[in-house]
Chains A and B, each alone.
Chain A
Amino acid sequence: MRLRVVGLGVRLTVLAMFAVFFIAPVVWLVLAPTKSDKALITSSPFSFGDFHHVALAWKHLDAFSSHIFRRWIGNTLFYAVSATAITLVAGVPAGYGLAIGRFPGRKLVLSLTLVVMIVPGAALVLPIFLELNAVHLIGSSLSVILPFAFFPFGVYLAYLYYATALPPSLLDAARVDGCGELQTFLRVALPLAKPIVALVFFFSFVADWNNFFLPYVVLADSNQYPITVGLWDLLSSTPSFNPAVGGGGQSVKIFKPELALATLIAVVPVAIVFLFSQRALVRGLVGGAVKE
């Protein structure tokens, strides 16, 4: 009995230590915009300043480069949602097809999907750029949305899901009724799709929101940046991190609190998606085969 209590104590301590590791920086981030630049250095990291500083930090941030911060957030929403929509429309049926289909080349497509997941991004970005250039898409939002929409991880998840969660009986019933491919899909796959749609939506949205490398390379105009590249642009435009800016950079009032606020705002949409997807994630993650 003693051992059990000690064991529980040890367990909780370890879990708590890791929780602190994961959460402390987030707490710091939330509190940082409430303090002034100087206060961030001098006062305790977890102290609360006041809301006045948050308003001030937002004012400075918004004033940067003619409200470009709002545009960045808007861009990212646009890219992520559009790309995810395409991913869902293309990827989920594909996963379904791979799971139940009996067509030639099925194994090939599956393996290719897996392999492409492992290919380094650096290898793909340049050829993709050249492809996009050949069809004169560089400079348009499509140059970001289309590559984003290709999400092999999502297809593989859908494949796993339908391979394990689909009751064969339903499938047989549909076949017996003489349904064609499309009808089988509509009758069988779609009703079951909710958990996997939520899952793929989640992963795709987060991946698109967080993607840095592709937009970094492909987008020339800073007005088109998503927030990930925008944050880097902000960082390199502030005196705190770019001395060359120092000569006059003070008129660009971006210091630590503004950077912290920018980071926080950049995170909010994804955090919201996180909260809403929590359920679908835990339940549907392992092919919907959770035995509770």
Chain B
Amino acid sequence: MLPYLPLLIVFGVAPSIYALDLAFTNVGGGWVGFHNFVRTYNDFRFLSAFRHVLVYTCVWLGALIVFVVGLALLLHGRANRVSATFRFLFYMPGALAGSAAVLVWLFMLDPSVSPGSFLLHHVLGADIFAQSIAPGNLPFIFAMIAFWTGAGGWIVVMYGALNTIPHDLEEAARIDGAGPITIALRLKLPLMRKWIAYMVILSFATGTQLFVEPQIVQTASFGLVPDTWSANQLAYQLAFRYADFNGAAAIAVDLLMIGLVGAVLIVTRSGLFRTDD
């Protein structure tokens, strides 16, 4: 235990407490109550930044839950070789670093270069890059990039989770005459609840912290995407451009609260910490 505890305290607990402290104090260190929160709330970029992040998170979580679980279920069954190949293919993009993935998608979203220009035209109505990244499309685009890199990993996890289901249970259900869809929905899905919950909690937290994707697209689009599109970006700008660390901490605490509330809700609704299952 010994080596870990200092790390936990120095880089986990202490910074969190310090961030809380910054959020409730001012530059001189004096206590200001909720003043920082009110002040940042009134910043002209605050509402749109949080709205963007919430839309993004909902789209992303939705995609994760539906497609990750769906694909894992589809993969599970017989034909292990085929399944392994598909899993590997889904997993490959996870190798791309945050900025690398965005670079790739910058090209994918540029109709003059992308192999998917047909889709760009018909789905997004985009003939030039500037149209692909029109403000209304952004939450979906960022969700797609995050899904592209992150889904593979979770699919593997879900697949592994499915593998823990005892074969006899499946056999029994099959003997009883249940079709594959019924087995999936009635038997497999409920047993995956804990893992789905775990995925949603972590993804919810990371989703609200969105930074890399909008930051890089902002550079690459010559500023068509604002540098305060996401809440985390706004916090960064407040801290490092306006030297307003207290405001930045306030926003960070806002995000933390959202993450915690979400986590608590999910934990209680899904019984994640219950051990009797």
Total interface residues on A, using CB and 8 Å?
A: 88
* Cα distance A112–B4 in the bound complex, in angstroms: 12
Contact B95 A150, beta carbon cutoff 8 Å: no
Q: How far is the CB of A105 from chain B (nearest CB, A)?
A: 10
Interface string of B115-136 (1 = CB under 8 A from A): 1100000000000000000000
Answer whether A126 and B13 are a contact pair too, CB < 8 Å, given A112-B8, A117-B205. no
Q: Which residue of B lies closest to A203 (CB)?
A: B153
Binds B, one of A55-63, A187-195, A281-289: A281-289
Interface string of A154-172 (1 = CB under 8 A from B): 0100000000000000000
Contact A209 B91, beta carbon cutoff 8 Å: no
* Cα distance A235–B220 in the bound complex, in angstroms: 7
Interface size for chain B: under 10, 10 to 19, 20 to 34, or 35 or more residues?
35 or more
Flag whether A29 is at the interface (Cβ < 8 A). yes
Contact A22 B90, beta carbon cutoff 8 Å: yes
Interface string of A206-250 (1 = CB under 8 A from B): 100111110001000000000111011001100001110000000
Interface string of B220-264 (1 = CB under 8 A from A): 101000000000100110011000010011011101100110010
Contact B113 A40, beta carbon cutoff 8 Å: yes
Contact B239 A126, beta carbon cutoff 8 Å: yes
Q: Which residues of chain A come closer than 8 Å to B14, judged between CB atoms?
A: 127, 131
Q: B-contacting residues of A (Cβ < 8 Å)?
A: 7, 11, 14-15, 18-19, 21-26, 28-29, 32, 40-41, 45-46, 86, 89-91, 93-94, 97-98, 101, 103, 109, 112-113, 115-124, 126-128, 130-131, 146-147, 149-150, 152, 155, 206, 209-213, 217, 227-229, 231-232, 235-236, 241-243, 256, 259-260, 263, 266-267, 270-271, 274, 278, 281-282, 285-286, 289-292
The 3 closest A-B pairs by CB, nearest first: A123-B252, A94-B4, A45-B115
**Could you give 5 example pairs across A and B, Cβ below 8 Å?**
A19-B86, A131-B10, A235-B219, A263-B103, A266-B97
